[in-house]
Amino acid sequence: MLIIVAPGQGAQTPGFLKPWLEDPQFAERLHWLSTVSGIDLAHYGTEADAEAIRDTAIAQPLLVATGGVAALALFPHPADAFGKIGAVAGHSVGELTAAVGARVITGEQAMVLVRERGRAMAHAAAATPTGMTAVLGGDPEEVQAALTQHGLTAANVNAAGQVVAAGTLEQLAAFAAAPPAKARLMPLQVAGAFHTDHMEPAVGVLGRLAQSVSTHDPRTPVISNRDGRVLHDGREVLRRIVTQVSTPVRWDLCMETMRDLGVTGILEMPPAGTLTGIAKRALPGVETFALKTPDQLDEARAFVERHGTQSSIDTHPTWRLLVSPTKGTFVRQAGGEGEELEPTSTIGVVRSTRDETAVVAPHGGTIVEWLVEDGDLVSPGQPLVRLHPSAVTV
């Protein structure tokens, strides 16, 4: 199974877009997204220095635009991708890139959202001096205890031994003065404490904008970076994109879901390298491909062919397929074949040792066929039931 991932802020480096802009079609598409966002993305991707592209309001649109246009270079006929990609996921702002790839929102909608996301997060960061520090190594329980002691948040949990602490500069200074045993601290050059309560004002800004954004259910499963759950409702993907600004990124749970899905290959969109580097350590045996420059495109397409599989929730004109959002035991609540379900009806829950997750039929419909039994163990992305769409949702 092939999974496509998109990196978050911090992956950008000065001049990384230079080789891509040698392709006239790439340049034209990037120019269009520059027009939509009101930002000269070509300039920032080729000529701007590290300080300029570190700016949250610049870095985030630059990353989303690059990932989206590079995806079109990799898949010149986008519909072909749905027969090859098993799932998509994005780290932090990369989730917007993933949402575009899964056809939940358009590239133009993503650019407006990411422009305002970057501005709102930069404004929130200016309210209080805050920052982030990578914590590498150390005992996980001791690290968490130290974070709690100093009032810090584990804003990113990327993998075992890779946590990013976030909070006020005073809290981070106190933490640095008494670090957990065997842990190495690395202050990050970011504008503020992203994915914490300090970003709550930005959530309100995005939430108001999102009310006017139309969505489609994903053509490819989206793995949420909040908790690793597999999403098949476009409105839920958008809701999580809004609220993730102030909630931690659990990339460790995303990789756990990838393992449960049976991933064999992970391809990272440019500017690539960060997420494939984590995967190499956390998912041994899984082949990775970091797409950094356009001269790798043929090799990347061969990688796609080698690992490609049909999306489990690719739509069909006569029925909808609901899949499990996580692993656990399925407890059925809806009735038998032929039962009519109202929109947002709960068909059952998936219980795990960690929690209980409801499975909702966002559009309702008629139950055509159950694909699991009550009490069955299910995996993330596993099909649960086929529904015939109601007339109003076709």
| Residue-wise pLDDT tens digits, 120-129 | 999 999 999 9
Straight-line distance from the first to the last Cα atom of the chain, in angstroms, rounded to the nearest whole number: 30
Q: Domain count of the chain?
A: 3
How many angstroms separate the most distant Cα atoms in the chain? 64
pLDDT in tens, 33-59: 999 999 999 999 999 999 999 999 999
Q: d(Cα 143, Cα 275) in Å, to the nearest integer?
A: 22
Domain shared by 67 and 100, yes or no:
yes
Query: Where does the pLDDT of residue 338 fall: very low under 50, low under 70, confident under 90, or very high at 90 and above?
Result: confident
- Say if residue 134's pLDDT is above 80: yes
Domain shared by 329 and 373, yes or no:
yes
Single residue among 307, 338, 366 that ends a domain in this structure: 307
195 is catalytic: yes
Catalytic site residue from 91, 150, 195, 307: 195
Q: Residues 6 or more apart from 119 whose CB is under 8 A from it?
A: 57
Q: d(Cα 243, Cα 126) in Å, to the nearest integer?
A: 19
Q: Which domain holds residue 145?
A: 127-187
Domain assignment of residue 192, yes or no: no
Residue 254's φ and ψ, nearest 5 degrees, are -60, -45
Residue 364 sits in a domain whose CATH number is 2.40.50.100
Strands, DSSP E only, in the chain?
A: 2-6, 87-90, 130-137, 153-159, 162-168, 183-187, 222-223, 230-231, 265-268, 287-290, 320-323, 328-332, 340-341, 345-351, 356-361, 365-370, 377-378, 383-388
37 is catalytic: no
- For residue 389, whether the previous peptide bond is cis, meaning omega lies within 30 degrees of 0, is no
Catalytic site residue from 92, 312, 324, 345: 92
pTM, 2 dp = 0.86
